[in-house]
Amino acid sequence: MKKTSNKIILLFVIVLLGVFSNTPVFAGNKGELLKRAKEAIEIAGETAKNSLDVKISDVTMGDGVFVDILFKEAGFACTAGLDDKIEIKVYEEENGKATDIACNLISSFGTSTYYAYKRPGSSIQAELDMAVMSIKMMRGDNLVEMPPPLEMETIPNRAKFSDFKIFEGTLAKAFVNNQEDYITSVFIGQKDDWFIKLRDTSNLAMPKRGIYYWFVIWKMVRPDVYEKDKERMRQSVQKPTN
C-alpha cells in the first residue's frame, strides 16, 4: 500500500512540478508557430510589440511544439501550441507600453485568456469580485458556483493546491454550467504593481485545467518558491508512511 501511495504522489509531482503545457501535444514546425505568434502581436499594434516578446517554449512534451508569448514587465507568459488560435489585445497603454494587455488562446479544447494590467488602489479581492461579475454577465444564469479551485485536492485524500506556497496570496473561483457542460475558472494574483489574471473555460471533463495553467504562470513569477515547493514534494514522496 505504501509503494502504491508513493507512486501516486510521484506521478502528481511529475505532472504539477515538471513540464506542463497549455494544450495537448501536436507535432509541427517551430517556425510556423513562431510566425503565427509574431503575426498576432503585429496585428495588435506597436504597443503590443513594445510589451511582448516571443520565444520557443522550454516545454518539451513528445513531439509537441510550443511558443511562449512573454509579458515582459509582468514576468510571465502564455504558452501556445499549434492547436491554439492566438489573439492579443491592448486595452490601455502609457508611454508606448501596455498597462492592460491580454493574450487569448482559443482551441477545440477551450479558451484561456491571460491578463496583465495595472490598477492602482485596487486589491486582489476587488479584482476577483469584478472578474466574477463579468463572468456572470457573459455566461448567463445557468452558472453554479463550485468549491474554490485552490481548495481542491491535488489527488484524492492528498494535499490541497492551496498548500503549495507558490499560490500564496492568489485567489480563485470557478463556475459550472451543467446544461452546456463547461467550467469557467478565474484566478487573480499580484506581482509588484501588476495584477495577473487567468480566465479559463473548458469541458467538464477537465475540471482542474485552469489550476494547472495558473501553476505554470506562478512557476515563472516565483521560481524560488517553486523550487522550495518542489523540494517539499520530493521529501513527501520519500517520507515513510505508517
pLDDT grade, residue 22 (50/70/90)? very low
* pTM flag (> 0.75): yes
Could you give the maximum distance between any two Cα atoms of the chain, in Å? 61
Which cell goes with 241? 508512511
- Domain tally for the chain? 1
- The Cα 52–Cα 182 span in angstroms is 30
DSSP 191: E
What DSSP assignment string belongs to 127-144? HHHHHHHHHHHHH-S--E
User: Whose CA is closest to 183, among 135, 231, 222, 215?
Assistant: 135
Which cell goes with 21? 503545457
Comparing 36-40, 175-179, 194-198, the range with the smallest average pLDDT is: 175-179
**Can you name the residues that pair with 103 across neighbouring β-strands?**
88, 114
Q: Which domain holds residue 96?
A: 2-238
**pLDDT by residue (tens digit) across 92-135?**
999 999 999 999 999 988 999 999 999 999 999 999 999 999 99
